[in-house]
Amino acid sequence: MKKIKFLLMVAMALFFLGCVNTEEKINNKAISEIDRGNYIKASYLLTDAIKINPNYLDGMVNYRNVYPRALDQAKRRVEEYKKVNDYKLEAYAYEDLLKLKLNYYYADDIVHQKLGMSLDLPTIEEIYQLKYEIGTVYYKAGNELENRSLNRLEKRDKYFLYERGVELSPKYKDIVSRREKASNSQFSEIQELVLRIVL
């Protein structure tokens, strides 16, 4: 009986020790991403570490230093894809920018109190404007696939581009019909394939 209690206490101690070090492990992964120059991924990791423990000082300091770099890196990617008119990759780069801003916007109040002096909190208007821009880019990416002969994967991709555009910015009146058209063409191809297999 004493052995079982002892083993149970050791197991609980190891469990709590593992929980305490979780944010430190995530912080170390973030530092290795910083060394590689991947500030966006490092910012995501540090956000996770701060969610686990909002009072984690090392994660907070690293986040304060990495967040502006991550925003700059995401903005540079958006500009690079704008130059080459690759709307799909531009939309994905915008998604990184949106996620960075949303992570900080929806962070715990303790985080805002500690970092509010050094980092600007994005306003809700900024976030809505960014969503509007991303929706426009997704719409353009879907339009690139219009009037082309598409395989099944491209049809599915076109549908999801329009779908994400509607989620972010339902300003285009014809985007719903385009999304439905993309969906119907994808499903009609699947129906033809099933009929061929059955017959």
CA dihedral sign of residues 51, 122, 139, 75: negative
Q: What is the pLDDT along the chain (199 residues), one digit of tens a residue?
A: 667 776 677 666 666 555 557 888 988 999 999 999 999 999 999 999 888 888 888 888 888 899 999 999 999 999 999 999 889 899 999 999 999 999 988 887 777 777 776 788 888 999 999 999 999 899 888 888 887 777 888 888 888 888 888 888 877 656 556 666 666 665 555 555 555 555 4
Counting every residue, how long is the chain?
199
Query: Which among 119, 48, 40 has a CA at the least distance from the CA of 76?
Result: 40
Q: What is the CATH code of the structural domain delimited by 19-121?
A: 1.25.40
At 182 the pLDDT is 62
pLDDT of residue 146: 80
The ranges assigned to domains in the chain are 19-121, 123-199
C-alpha–C-alpha distance, residues 158 and 150, integer Å: 9
